[in-house]
Structure 1
Amino acid sequence: MDLLDIARWQFGITTVYHFLMVPLTIGLSILVAGMQTAWYRTGDRRYLKMTKFWGKLMLINFAMGVVTGIVQEFQFGMSWSAYSRFVGDVFGAPLAMEGLVAFFVESTFLGLWIFGWDRLSKGVHLACAWAFSLATVASAYFILAANSWMQHPVGIVFTDGRPRLDSIWAVLTNNTVLAAFPHTVFGCFAVAGAFLVGISAWQIWKHHRDTVGKNPGLERRTEEQNEDRKVWHGSLRLGAWVGVIAFAGLAISGDLQAKLMFEQQPMKMASAEALCHTEQPAGFSIFAIGDVGQSNCEDVKSLTVPYLLSYLANGDLHSEVRGVQQLIGEYQAAYGSHYPDDPRLGPYAGKPVDYVPNLPVTYWGFRFMIGFGAVAAAGAVVVLWLTRKGRYPKWRWWTPLAVLSIATPYLGNSFGWIFTEMGRQPFVVAPNPNPSGVDGVFMYTATAVSSGVTPGEMLTSLIGLTSIYGVLAVVEIFLIVRYVRGGIAGVLPPEPPEGKKESDEALSFAY
């Protein structure tokens, strides 16, 4: 592998790993704030137990997300210095805003929430929960604004070969981020919902095993045990409802985002469909048999839904959708057929530019994104049906399947981001054919990598970071499993003895 390949692998591995933490933190933080709101309004101890248990798991994931996220911005300087110089004047503002929100608002109010259980009034403590939860969402918005600028450059003037920020408002209201933000947030709720379903199902199974399983036919439980069972059943139902609503939001926002991408990055969307030749009307490919890696698609046979791709692209069943072969010529005419003959580009200097992204990755990544999301939604519907009116299925494979279902929205999110970023290649900053942006502002990925780093140094960095992330994965899984097994008792101490104030148990409540 050359320097560019190693740099891309490093950024891809660390970014996908980091994004495993992000959706759970965003989705779960809002749900935990909602649980605490229910406790504040009703005084029902079940909601307190839900808040404490799911809040503990959210905090573990949050801490790991911070540790792994810091590396992302350091990589801009380490591996992508040319890219950093090119986008620095634009990215400085949204990334600074994200840093202020993340390291001041989020961390401040999260700290108050962690240690303020018995020191702050219930109302103030609840306000802290909402403050850090909404700050987490705002932080994600600023990151997405920066990423969306790479997909669709706006709000700049192009001088001396570099973009200069002209309007931060244009960057923050980029139509690309306005479409990507709700889609991303709904994806976060899908992850959080599946997380609640899987762990709650396991807890119900464990609860049944510990109270009934040892004495078949005996259903005697203490009042506390009955309350705990209601906690898990309520969490299960909440997770399922969140999953269903999230998938509906994903479908609507995804349709809007796809129409925008057909307009802004037609090659990405043609590759997502393995649409090698222009069609009018165009059918949507459900799956393909054959080698989708060839840009002429001569050996590919697809099962398609007639007219659907035309509608998804333009809202018209009979519209034309341009294929890969036609778009290659358009891209070459607009942006050149060869890389600049610059020694800093190494083996890419003066070579032809391949404007077609990796077709198998974009085609199957798009389908895996949709497929895993649909499986997660179908599972949530099944859970709602089987657990209606206090019921709970007892067949053998129910619990293992519920636990495994946690992975489905994670995989859907991951494949979605892989498709989004890989489908933009060979650009790291995509050109903007839309009149709302500034045409001619683009950057090839091959020109973005750090020229002063050797492949050996980059490979050492790749191995080191991957190894560290592997260790962090073990730590996170260990902590999550430990506190899941501990259940409510592991995060909520027993009631204080009679005559002793609850405030005397301050350290017991500290997270």
Structure 2
Amino acid sequence: MDAVMLSRLQFGATAMYHFIFVPLTLGLGVLVAIMETLHYKTKNEVYLKMTKFWGRLFLINFVLGIVTGITLEFQFGTNWAQYSIYVGDIFGAPLAIEATLAFFLESTFLGVWLFGWKRISPKMHLISIWLVAFSSNLSALWILIANAWMQDPVGFVLRNNRAEMTNFFAVVFSPYAWLKFTHTITAGFVVGSFFVMGISAYHLLKKQNVELFKKSFYIGATFGLIASILVFLIGDFHAAEVAHVQPTKLAAMESLWNTEKAAPIYLILVPDESKRTNMVEAFPIPSLLSLLAYHDPNATVRGLNSFPSNDIPPVTPVFLSFRIMVGLGTLFIILTVLAWWYARKDKLLEHRNFLRIMLYSLPLPYVATQVGWIVAEVGRQPWIVYGLLRTDDAVSKNLTVGDVLLTFGVFIVLYTALAVLDFALLIYYARKGPLETD
């Protein structure tokens, strides 16, 4: 294994560790803000206890998530120096804005919210948590704008063997960027809602703080139902954009080897990359791929065999990850519909088996977000910037296998310890329930 592949694995592993924390921050921050809003409007002390309980879990996740994010950016200088030299003029701008604007706004008002209980007015305290939720998602926006440019490079010229920005607004308002942003944050909202419903289900099964966790479950179910539907709808538009700008990724997502008009989607399909075909193709839905990709049932979809072999991404991981993501997304809609209905009708305690299902479903949105990133990043290969810069050409010069193995090992040990610590603290305080005094 060479330094390029090891650097890819290192960045991929650290990114996936980091993305354990990010979706919950995006979703739970908004949910905590909603809960405090309900307390501000109703003066109901249950909503206050709810805000403090879920807020504590949000803080644990937020703090540990920061640590895992810092080392990601360092790798652009250590492992991917050629990439930074080639596209740093463009890629660095949104990352700089994220660090100097969104992150500092988020951190500042999180401190105000954390230490401001009974020290500032209730209205200002409420505003501070909404600013935390807003800036968390604003931070995600700038990072995803940078990532979207790697998927669909726009607003630049090649000059002096570098990509230089010519149109900042083309980069910021790229359709790919905003579809990626909305798809990612709504996925984070799903993670947050299932987190709230899963922990609430645990306490309802034990009949602890029933009123508080019934209300929490209902808020999570309502939020999750809306988010699950939005993820699915935005995902459809996002797939159509992928078909337009990254046809190789689309073909890998569906393991489509031969160009077809009115291309179907097979319910059962087994890729065979070595023979550049599929071993099994069963139960086709006629014209569905053409319809979803181009909104035209008779559209022609290019297959992988129509592209040079060195431009084709790894098919099996992309195909499987996409199928898992879509399957879980469908499941989330079904579960949140049932969750909302039972909570709305105050029948949660009557359906203990459903509460167990929601408890054990808590990890599933995490799985969906992880495989979603596999589709996005592995599906872009062999390009680090699609159609512009190959991954093999982006790695740092004179980087040795030993260099990467050393840092890779350190990162894995450190990040695993942080992940274990995060889960241990979340489980401990989630099981403990709300304190009588905070």
Provide the TM-score with structure 2 as the length reference: 0.97
**1:262 equivalent in structure 2:** 243
Alignment pair present for 1:37 and 2:37 = yes
| Greater CA drift, 127-136 or 387-396 | 387-396
- Tell whether 2:402 aligns with 1:421: no
Aligned AA (1:245):
I
The separation in 2 between residues aligned to 1:47 and 1:395, in whole angstroms, is: 24
Cα shift at 1:396 = 6.3
Deviation at 1:395, TM superposition (A): 6.2
2:389 is aligned with what amino acid? M
Provide Cα deviations, 1:80-121, integer angstroms capped at 9, x if missing partner. 111111111112211111001344211111100000011000
Identify the residue that residue 238 of structure 1 maps to in structure 2.
219
Which position in structure 2 is the counterpart of 1:116?
116
> 1:160: which partner in 2?
160
1:206 CA drift (Å)? 2.2
Q: Given the alignment, which residue of 361, 365, 372 partners 1:409? A: 365
Unaligned runs of 5+ in 2: none
1:360 to 316, 324, 330: 316
Match of residue 464, structure 1, among 410, 413, 417:
410
The alignment yields a C-alpha RMSD, in angstroms, of 1.5
How many Å separate the matches in 1 of 2:166 and 2:90?
9
Letter in 1 for 2:185: V
Query: Which of structure 1's runs of 4+ aligned residues deviate more than 3 A?
Result: 385-388, 393-400
* Contact 1:366/1:416 (8 A) holds in 2: yes
Q: Specify whether residues 88 and 206 from structure 1 end up closer, same or farther in structure 2 by C-alpha distance, changes over 3 A only.
A: same
Q: What is the correspondence of 1:138-157 to structure 2 with a 5 Å cutoff?
A: 138-157=138-157
Deviation at 1:301, TM superposition (A): 2.0
Instruction: Among all aligned residue pairs of Structure 1 and Structure 2, give the percentage whose two residues are the same amino acid.
Output: 39
Following the alignment from structure 1 to structure 2, what is the Cα–Cα distance between the partners of residues 294 and 197? 44
Q: Bigger radius of gyration, 1 or 2?
A: 1
* CA–CA separation in structure 1 for the residues paired with 2:163 and 2:7: 24
SS at match of 1:287: strand
Offset at 1:373?
A: 1.7
Tell me the SS of whatever aligns to 1:285: strand
Partner of 1:350: none
Question: Is the 1:156–1:165 Cα contact (8 Å) retained in structure 2?
Answer: yes
Measured after TM superposition, the shift of residue 292 of structure 1 is: 3.2
Q: CA deviation at 1:155?
A: 1.5
Q: Which has the higher helix share?
A: 2
Q: Does 1:95 align with 2:95?
A: yes
- Write out aligned runs for 1:123-134 (5 A): 123-134=123-134
In the aligned structure 1, how far is the partner of 2:287 from the partner of 2:281? 17
Structure 2 Cα separation of the partners of residues 31 and 295 of structure 1 = 49
Give the equivalent residue in structure 2 for 1:229.
Answer: 210
Q: Distance in 2 between matches of 1:254 and 1:99?
A: 28
Question: Which runs of 5 or more structure 1 residues have no equivalent in the other structure?
Answer: 209-227, 329-352, 432-441, 494-508
Equivalent positions of 1:482-493 (< 5 A) are: 482-489=428-435, 492-493=436-437
Distance in 2 between residues matched to 1:398 and 1:131, nearest whole Å: 35
Q: Which moved more, 1:133-142 or 1:162-171?
A: 162-171
Secondary structure of the equivalent of 1:316?
A: coil
**461-470 vs 397-406, which moves further:** 397-406
- Alpha-carbon shift at residue 29 of structure 1 (Å): 0.6
Q: Number of residue pairs matched?
A: 438
Matched, 1:249 2:205: no
- Contact 1:274–1:292 at 8 Å: present in 2 too? no
Q: Where does residue 299 of structure 2 map in the other structure? A: 319
SS at match of 2:283: strand
Partner residue in 1 for 2:419 = 473
Q: Could you tell me which of 319, 323, 326 is aligned with 1:370?
A: 326
CA contact (8 A) 1:145 1:172 kept: yes
Superposed CA deviations along residues 47-93 of structure 1, whole A, max 9, x for unmatched, are 11111111111111111110000011011111111111111111221
| Residue aligning to 1:225 | none
Q: Is 1:2 paired with 2:2?
A: yes
Give the equivalent residue in structure 2 for 1:446.
Answer: 392
